[in-house]
Amino acid sequence: MPEVTMFLWGTATASYQIEGAVAEDGRGASIWDTFTHDPGHVRDGHTGDVACDHYHRWSEDVMLMADLGVNSYRFSISWPRVHPEGRGKANKAGLDFYDRLVDELCAKGITPAVTLFHWDLPQALEDEGGWLNRDTAHHLAEYAHTVSGRLADRVPMWITLNEPFIHMVFGYALGTHAPGKALLLDALPVAHHQLLGHGLATQALRANGAERVLITNNCTPVRPASGSPEDLRAAEAYDTLHNRLFNDPVLLGQYPDLSAYGVTTLDAVRDGDAEIIAQPLDGLGINYYNPTRIAAPAEGADTGGLPFEDAGVTGYPTTAFGWPVVPDGLRELLTGLRARYGDALPPVYVTENGCSQADEPGPDGVVDDQARITFLDGHIEAVRAAIAEGVDVRGYYVWSLLDNFEWAEGYDQRFGLVHVDFATQKRTPKASYHWLRERIAAHPEP
Ligand code: IFM
């Protein structure tokens, strides 16, 4: 079993975003296959059919990580590659793929950190209601059992869910991600069923000897647009939805007060669920990209019944996505989590942090992404500052190893340390890759 006693420096990816090979070796369809092939959902009609062709080029990609000098790799398993129908018979060829990948990582001294669910739900389960159906939580546990039965002897770190908040909001409340449902607040059962799935999967992983189990939540420091009572209330309501809905039940065993949303009890909750969800955790994964500035809805604004409006963070440089670059927001977030949860906060792993830029090779073939270097430098400094302020941070994973399929934005947003020419699949390490290698080698701790 690989060691995880040192600070983990890693890169992160997700199955649908890099693997391709969507119809190979018995893989079933996922909701993202369906969504991307339904015209109009994804920029320029891009799909993940080929993506980075990682399913065939995984060994080259492991080599890139070994040369980079990272000691961990966070990747997700494609649920429909393992259970093509979402449950029942497992697909041996799918499991074999991950088995080979894990072996190669271990051989190169790179600790595998496996995410079970990074949004590519088997279509067969979506046909039965997806995360609106409580049964999906039990199917996640079955899938967790299958995968850990094969890999737990070599994978010391497991992440049940990636960003359940984003999956609920974009996939089920707004419909801009698969499965494309626009239910607004009626999407709330998706929160509970994902959390229940997290708890049940945690039990299944532990039963197979998994050493460390985490959940990864996307979090953002929330800033009120002004000191007015209305803006303060709106900011608190947003903070509850984005930061507390998925952290409180896991860390404190109860849902936060959702009365700002007109919700007194979540109908989906049954007796005993809270205990299942609040299984003791070995770590909390945090994905940070930017802070959020929130105002009360303007008079007459159509917010779909939500008690806040995004007022936009201004005065900072922005990424290609237009996201503000605020490195100190990561320190603020980490110290804020410590202040909020105290000793209930387990060790924290920054499981994603990175930026999209319009990176292309220059005439000399060099991809000179200086803005990403500045971004990473600032955010690693923020991790160092948070540790100095008493937060137990044990890992930092750059999103992402490779330029890849960025969901509704297709291939236009490049997040990689390594440039991918999607026509030829040529990989070119960017200047930030070389910079990070030097940084890690010079300072094994942030
Ligand atoms: O690409 C995504 C990833 O899948 C989840 N976290 C945010 C990244 C950038 O948008």
Q: Which tens digits make up the pLDDT trace of 333-370?
A: 999 999 999 999 999 999 999 999 999 999 999 999 99
The pLDDT, as a whole number, for residue 42 is 98
Q: Evaluate if residue 3 carries a pLDDT over 90.
A: no
282 Cβ below 6 A of ligand 1: no
- How many CB atoms sit inside 10 A of residue 339's CB? 12
Prior bond of 179 cis (ω within 30°): yes
Q: Evaluate if residue 242 carries a pLDDT over 90.
A: yes
Of the residues 126, 163, 332, 406, only one is catalytic, namely 163
The pLDDT, as a whole number, for residue 388 is 98
Q: Which tens digits make up the pLDDT trace of 87-132?
A: 999 999 999 999 999 999 999 999 999 999 999 999 999 999 999 9
163 is catalytic: yes
352 Cβ below 6 A of ligand 1: yes
Compute the distance from residue 246 Cα to the ligand 1 centre, in Å.
17
List domains and CATH numbers for the chain: 8-441 (3.20.20.80)
Among protein residues, the one whose CA lies closest to atom 10 of ligand 1? 406
Give the pLDDT mean for 217-240: 98
Among protein residues, the one whose CA lies closest to atom 9 of ligand 1? 406
14 Cβ below 6 A of ligand 1: yes
Q: Among the atoms of ligand 1, which is closest to the Cα of residue 352?
A: 6
371 Cβ below 6 A of ligand 1: no
The pLDDT, as a whole number, for residue 352 is 99
Compute the distance from residue 367 Cα to the ligand 1 centre, in Å.
22
Among protein residues, the one whose CA lies closest to atom 2 of ligand 1? 406
Least confident of 203-217, 278-292, 300-314, 338-352: 300-314
The pLDDT, as a whole number, for residue 425 is 98
Give the pLDDT mean for 313-317: 98
Testing ligand 1's pocket by substitution, the residue of 399, 401, 402, 414 carrying the most ligand atoms inside 8 A of its CB is 399
Q: How far is CA 234 from CA 244, 261, 294, 298, 335, in A?
A: 14, 11, 7, 11, 22
Contacts of 309 (CB under 8 A, 6+ apart): 234, 294, 295, 296, 297, 298, 301, 303
Compute the distance from residue 406 Cα to the ligand 1 centre, in Å.
7
**pLDDT band at 2, cuts 50/70/90?**
confident
Q: Evaluate if residue 4 carries a pLDDT over 80.
A: no
Testing ligand 1's pocket by substitution, the residue of 30, 406, 411, 417 carrying the most ligand atoms inside 8 A of its CB is 406
The pLDDT, as a whole number, for residue 93 is 98
**pLDDT band at 399, cuts 50/70/90?**
very high
Compute the distance from residue 19 Cα to the ligand 1 centre, in Å.
15
Among protein residues, the one whose CA lies closest to atom 1 of ligand 1? 406
248 Cβ below 6 A of ligand 1: no
Give the pLDDT mean for 21-46: 98
Give the pLDDT mean for 395-402: 98
Query: How far apart (Å, rounded) are the C-alpha atoms in residues 166 and 14?
Result: 15
The pLDDT, as a whole number, for residue 395 is 98
Query: How far apart (Å, rounded) are the C-alpha atoms in residues 2 and 106?
Result: 7
The pLDDT, as a whole number, for residue 304 is 85
Of the residues 19, 104, 126, 352, only one is catalytic, namely 352
Query: How far apart (Å, rounded) are the C-alpha atoms in residues 11 and 37?
Result: 29
